[in-house]
Chain A
Amino acid sequence: MAPGPIRVAETPLVSYLLRRADDALVLGHRLSEWAGRAPTMEEDMALANMGLDLLGQARMLYAHAGEVEGRGRDEDAFAYWRDERGYRNLLLVEQPNGDFAVTIVRQFLYAAYAEPYWRAMMASGDATLAAVGAKAEKEMAYHVRHCAEWVVRLGDGTAESRARAAAALTELWPFTGELFEVDGTDRTLIAAGIAVDPQTLREPWQRTVIQVLAEATLEAPPAGFMRRGGRSGRHSEHLGHLLAEMQHLQRSNPGAAW
């Protein structure tokens, strides 16, 4: 493995794989920060469980990116040796955990997108992506169910929980536009039958979100400015800190195997 920071020569497919892997890794990492801190023991287990699902997805996608790139890089090379400008994840998933409402709403907004996304990807012309889709689709369905139940409980719980859920929704809503963004990388792969057009996911995502928010007696924030930049490596200020913590041991021991 490379004993120093790497620069990936990103073909459209490599870039696409890294985006999806980075989403899963960064969100899984955020969930792992909850370990031992959740409001109940059952929820401690659930957050770890979802974090593990996402880590598993990230690992499969990085491994595939390494094969496609063909330069002998493994999952850890991509995870530990790229700086934040090389990371391609959505801004949504790097947002801090905040209180339990922020974590649950963030997870819900992502999962409501990722479930139909991975289901559609089961038909990808890339066999590995299709296989990841088959596994991830089931996991994300569980995440949607679990988080939707909590969104409803918080929204229709006490005045305090309702206010916190509403605040979380307002805080995170501007990051949801990025879910449906299409750029040149996407267009190339959509044309090749490898990627799904994210525009087709907007409708199922909205349906899930609107239905759950209604049950939670919450409202979707009004349409407004949407933040973007994660896919091209222009992140919020949060990612640098996350990576500094995550990568420090690899970086201070270049060339070591763990």
Chain B
Amino acid sequence: MWEEPMYTQALNAGAVGAGQPPGEDAALLARFQERVDADQRIEPNDAMPEAYRRTLIRQISQHAHSEIIGMQPEGNWLTRAPSLRRKAALLAKVQDECGHGLYLYAAAETLGIAREELVDQLLTGKAKYSSIFNYPTLSWADIGAIGWLVDGAAIMNQIPLCRCSYGPYARAMIRVCKEESFHQRQGFEIMLTLARGTSAQKAMAQDALDRWWWPCLMMFGPPDAASQHSDTSTRWKIKRFSNDELRRKFVDATVPQAHFLGLTLPDPDLRFDADSGHWEFGAIDWDELRRVIAGDGPCNADRIAARRCAHEDGAWVREAALAFAAKRQAKQAA
């Protein structure tokens, strides 16, 4: 039922990561593990276990899908951004996300699968994307909360991926992380402006935090005890920290930021534990995450419908581009 965290929450449970298909060469596996253990980067032409390839295709493509679907909740406020400066920054951010999607599809393609096939998996619902993008953006403050919290959580997860064993993915993450940290600072600055603004603006900021806090904690995936595939991913150095480790890191980093903003976290059990040096937080509603991943979140249907609509409405344009390219090629050959 549970898959890797963050951008890879639920595809084809049980199909991958559960070891090698029967008959795969044990010697290859051993050699591969040696290279990984020696911290060597695996490159597209290198031999790799089939399950490693499939796990990465799934993880990278779902990460790419998340960038593309993630354009929607923020795009929802582009035409309503309250100042020209914010409007320009948000448009630049949405553009960056599309660019991240393109890097990641390119990285996935190095594993021997076509972008069109991956996009098809997204449109038919075979592939998933991050659960967080199934929540609606109901006020301008949500744009701040997404930058601060959602991008903040993404960075926590992606910084370790910069050292992931698969070279093309690690290199894509280095580029993505640089832009994400910029977005995260912008998001925090939006929240700061609201928190220091009128009482209506402060209420708007608090309401956004109340609605985004728990879904953001869910972005790190199920608790370690319930996470099926962590072992293989950890052994192959695709994953470097456990879901709970990353979640705790995120909470420790974010709670002081919320306090700095003068906002309250919607968790009555939240308290600082002096012995451990960590913030202890309340129970996460895992049923909600299961529901959202299964398709019953507030915006799942809308997000996919919008993506399909863009794809279908654009079909004649893509056909025109192909027909024109073919004509040009024929002319040049003649």
- Which residues of chain A come closer than 8 Å to B82, judged between CB atoms? 80, 249-250, 253, 256, 258
Q: How far is the CA of A248 from the CA of B140 in the complex (A)?
A: 11
Q: How far is the CA of A63 from the CA of B83 in the complex (A)?
A: 13
- Does residue B323 face the partner (Cβ distance < 8 Å to A)? yes
- Residue of A whose beta carbon sits closest to that of B309: A37
Out of B80, B98, B193, B320, name the residue touching A257 (CB < 8 Å): B193
Q: How far is the CA of A158 from the CA of B92 in the complex (A)?
A: 33
Q: How far is the CA of A44 from the CA of B75 in the complex (A)?
A: 12
Out of B81, B306, B321, name the residue touching A153 (CB < 8 Å): B321
Q: How far is the CA of A51 from the CA of B321 in the complex (A)?
A: 22
- Which residues of chain B come closer than 8 Å to A88, judged between CB atoms? none
Contact between A161 and B87 (Cβ–Cβ < 8 Å)? no
Least CB distance from B323 to A in Å reads: 5
- Which residues of chain B come closer than 8 Å to A38, judged between CB atoms? 310, 314
Among the stretches B174-182, B195-203, B247-255, the one at the interface with A is B195-203
- Does residue A203 face the partner (Cβ distance < 8 Å to B)? no
Contact between B91 and A48 (Cβ–Cβ < 8 Å)? yes
The interface bits of chain A over 42-57 (1 if a CB of B lies within 8 angstroms of the residue's CB, else 0) are 1111001101100110
Looking at B68, B102, B200, B310, the one whose CB has the most chain A CB atoms below 10 A away is: B310
Out of A32, A75, A100, A253, name the residue touching B200 (CB < 8 Å): A253
- Does residue B260 face the partner (Cβ distance < 8 Å to A)? no
- Residue of A whose beta carbon sits closest to that of B74: A35
**Which applies to chain B's interface (DSSP): helix, strand, loop or mixed?**
helix
Q: How far is the CA of A99 from the CA of B85 in the complex (A)?
A: 28
- Residue of B whose beta carbon sits closest to that of A216: B324
- Which residues of chain A come closer than 8 Å to B317, judged between CB atoms? 39-40, 43, 100, 154, 161
Contact between A256 and B102 (Cβ–Cβ < 8 Å)? no
- Does residue A152 face the partner (Cβ distance < 8 Å to B)? yes
Number of B interface residues in the complex (CB < 8 A): 47
- Does residue B284 face the partner (Cβ distance < 8 Å to A)? no
Within 8 A of A (CB), among B121-160: 140
Least CB distance from B94 to A in Å reads: 5
- Which residues of chain B come closer than 8 Å to A40, judged between CB atoms? 314, 317-318
- Does residue A36 face the partner (Cβ distance < 8 Å to B)? yes
Least CB distance from A246 to B in Å reads: 6
Least CB distance from A129 to B in Å reads: 19
Out of B78, B98, B99, B315, name the residue touching A32 (CB < 8 Å): B78
Contact between A36 and B91 (Cβ–Cβ < 8 Å)? no
- Which residues of chain B come closer than 8 Å to A48, judged between CB atoms? 91-92, 94-95, 98
**A-B pairs with lowest CB-CB distance, top 5:** A39-B314, A157-B320, A161-B320, A39-B317, A48-B95
Q: Interface of A with B (CB < 8 Å)?
A: 25, 29, 32-33, 35-45, 48-49, 51-52, 55-56, 58-59, 62, 75-76, 79-80, 99-100, 152-154, 156-158, 160-161, 164, 245-246, 248-250, 253, 255-258
